[in-house]
């Protein structure tokens, strides 16, 4: 397997190092190329993602990314110019973000909540598309627009993927989360496409939830969700909350998938570069390791993926209170468990 690794900024390199320990323990023959992209390269050279590097990335089976973003770089430069550019150029239209409350993990919710859901977030459109601009800049009449772009092609392929996933899961339940009461045009398109595609999946029960109410239910009754399909921005927000109620952002994994497999997919923790804890050795690398399980599944190595997941499940079930908090110690435990 040829793997491109982008450690990135902040805690990115710290969690990626632990992820690679686990991966190379399970798949010793992995061929790794590491790419120095992120804040330090930008400061040194002004480069974000040279075209030559993008070409090289395309030649790999998958990409593992830590995180990008740094307080010394103006907001959005790295996020848009590096991370989103990779997602867009490599057509990562399905942003897969499972959230599960593992046995032994204490979440912040009251009572015995069961959480086992997967968010299928659209990855290349919505307000992320970069359409819009500033009119009458620096005047009292300045106007900023950020247009949400939703194409039939883009919505249909992500909705179809969500139905396929729901159909393979035990509960066979899909919830569209949107804001159709206000976002009339895009809401209509998403609702219509969900209705159309649902005809091909008669075994999947379909529900709808406005984004604001979905935030209530994620906290009061998360068990109602199985597969959530939603747009790029709603999906970003939902998945941080889903992570928080499932034991924390340090456990939340993601895969940016080109479902057509024309381009390599990219796997990364849902969290960012966490400048507040970077360098302290306290970041939880579990999200990165779980992202590696998604990567192994995507590349057709389900047995290895299950070994990695089982290692995480065992570790989470047996972690002593206060024993999280050392990045390397967690990575060592997971690597030993996964390769034993
Ligand atoms: N995919 C990505 O690369 C990605 C994702 C989100 C944010 N970002 C960027 O990261 C930077 C920081 O963003 P932010 O602070 O809003 O979000 P963040 O996810 O980096 O951090 C939010 C909070 O979660 C904590 N946290 C994050 N990961 C953790 C881990 N593995 N273990 C323990 N605690 C963890 C942080 O300490 C912080 O308190 C920004 O530049 C942002 O744009 C990048
Ligand atoms: C950093 C940012 C561009 C990114 C997003 O909004 O998708 C992040 O928040 C994420 O969740 O991966
Ligand atoms: Mg996010």
Over the stretch 178-224, which tens digit does the pLDDT of each residue have?
999 999 999 999 999 999 999 999 999 999 999 999 999 999 999 99
Strand intervals (E) in the chain: 2-8, 31-34, 62-67, 94-100, 116-122, 126-135, 143-149, 173-178, 205-210, 227-230, 253-257, 265-269
Does residue 96 form part of some domain? no
Least Cα distance to 309 among 238, 251, 226, 245 occurs for: 251
User: What is the rounded distance in angstroms from the CA atom of residue 102 to the CA atom of residue 286?
Assistant: 12
The pLDDT assigned to 205 comes to 98
Question: Which of 273, 278, 279, 287 to mutate to test ligand 1, by most ligand atoms within 8 A of the CB atom?
Answer: 273
Beta strands at 173-178 and 253-257: parallel, antiparallel or unpaired: unpaired
Q: Which ligand is nearest to the CA of 92?
A: 2
Q: What is the pLDDT of residues 78-118, one digit of tens each?
A: 999 999 999 999 999 999 999 999 999 988 998 778 999 99
Per-residue DSSP letter, 262? S
Q: Are residues 139 and 183 in the same domain?
A: yes
Give the model's confidence band at 165: pLDDT under 50 very low, under 70 low, under 90 confident, else very high: very high
Q: Are residues 65 and 134 in the same domain?
A: no
Neighbours of 40 (CB within 10 A): 14
Does residue 252 form part of some domain? no
- Positive/negative CA dihedral, 265, 269, 275, 280: negative
The pLDDT assigned to 324 comes to 66
Range of the domain at 26: 1-91+259-339
Instruction: State whether the beta carbon of 284 lies less than 6 angstroms from ligand 1.
Output: yes
Does residue 101 form part of some domain? no
Q: What is the DSSP string of 186-244?
A: HHHHHHHHHHHHHTT-TTSEEEEEEHHHHHHHHHH-GGG-SEEEE-HHHHHHHHHHHHH
> Are the C-beta atoms of 257 and 265 separated by less than 8 Å?
yes
Q: Are residues 233 and 119 in the same domain?
A: yes
- Tell me how many domains the chain contains: 2
Say how many Å lie between the CA of residue 244 and the centre of ligand 1: 12
Q: Which residues surround ligand 3, an ion (CB under 5 A)?
A: 236
Q: Are residues 148 and 237 in the same domain?
A: yes
Indicate whether 44 pLDDT > 90.
yes
Query: What is the model's pTM?
Result: 0.98
Query: Choosing from 231, 236, 297, 315, which is the catalytic residue?
Result: 236
- Point out the domain boundary residue: 189, 222, 246: 246
User: What is the rounded distance in angstroms from the CA atom of residue 269 to the CA atom of residue 34?
Assistant: 17
Instruction: State whether the beta carbon of 240 lies less than 6 angstroms from ligand 2.
Output: no
Q: Are residues 133 and 241 in the same domain?
A: yes
């Amino acid at each position: 397997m040829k793997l491109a690794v982008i450690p990135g900024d902040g805690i990115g390199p710290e969690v990626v190092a632990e992820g690679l320990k686990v991966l190379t323990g399970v798949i010793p023959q992995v061929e790794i190329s590491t790419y120095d992209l992120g804040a330090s390269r930008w400061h040194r050279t002004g480069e974000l993602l040279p075209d030559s590097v993008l070409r090289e990335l395309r030649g790999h089976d998958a990409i593992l990314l830590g995180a990008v973003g740094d307080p010394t770089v103006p907001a959005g430069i790295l996020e848009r110019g590096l991370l989103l550019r990779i997602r867009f150029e490599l057509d990562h239209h399905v942003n897969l973000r499972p959230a599960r409350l593992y046995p032994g993990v204490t979440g912040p919710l009251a009572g015995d909540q069961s959480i086992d859901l997967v968010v299928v977030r659209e990855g290349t459109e919505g307000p992320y598309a970069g359409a819009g601009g500033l009119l009458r800049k620096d005047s009292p009449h300045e106007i900023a627009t950020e247009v949400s772009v939703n194409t039939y092609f883009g919505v249909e392929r992500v909705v179809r993927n969500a139905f396929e996933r729901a159909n393979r899961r035990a509960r066979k339940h899909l919830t569209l989360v949107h804001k159709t009461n206000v976002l009339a045009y895009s809401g209509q398109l998403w609702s219509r496409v969900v209705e159309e595609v649902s005809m091909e999946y008669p075994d999947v029960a379909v529900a709808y939830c406005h984004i604001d109410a979905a935030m209530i239910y994620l906290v009061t009754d998360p068990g109602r969700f199985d597969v959530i399909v939603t747009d790029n921005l709603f999906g970003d927000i939902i998945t941080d909350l889903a992570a928080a109620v499932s034991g924390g952002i340090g456990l939340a994994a993601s895969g940016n998938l080109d479902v057509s497999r024309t381009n390599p997919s990219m796997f990364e923790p849902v969290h960012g570069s966490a400048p507040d804890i970077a360098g302290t050795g306290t970041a939880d690398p579990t999200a990165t390791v779980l992202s590696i399980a998604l990567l192994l599944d995507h590349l057709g190595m389900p047995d290895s993926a299950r070994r990695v997941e089982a290692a995480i499940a065992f570790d989470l079930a047996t972690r002593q209170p206060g024993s999280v908090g050392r990045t390397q110690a967690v990575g060592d435990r997971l690597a030993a468990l996964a390769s034993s």
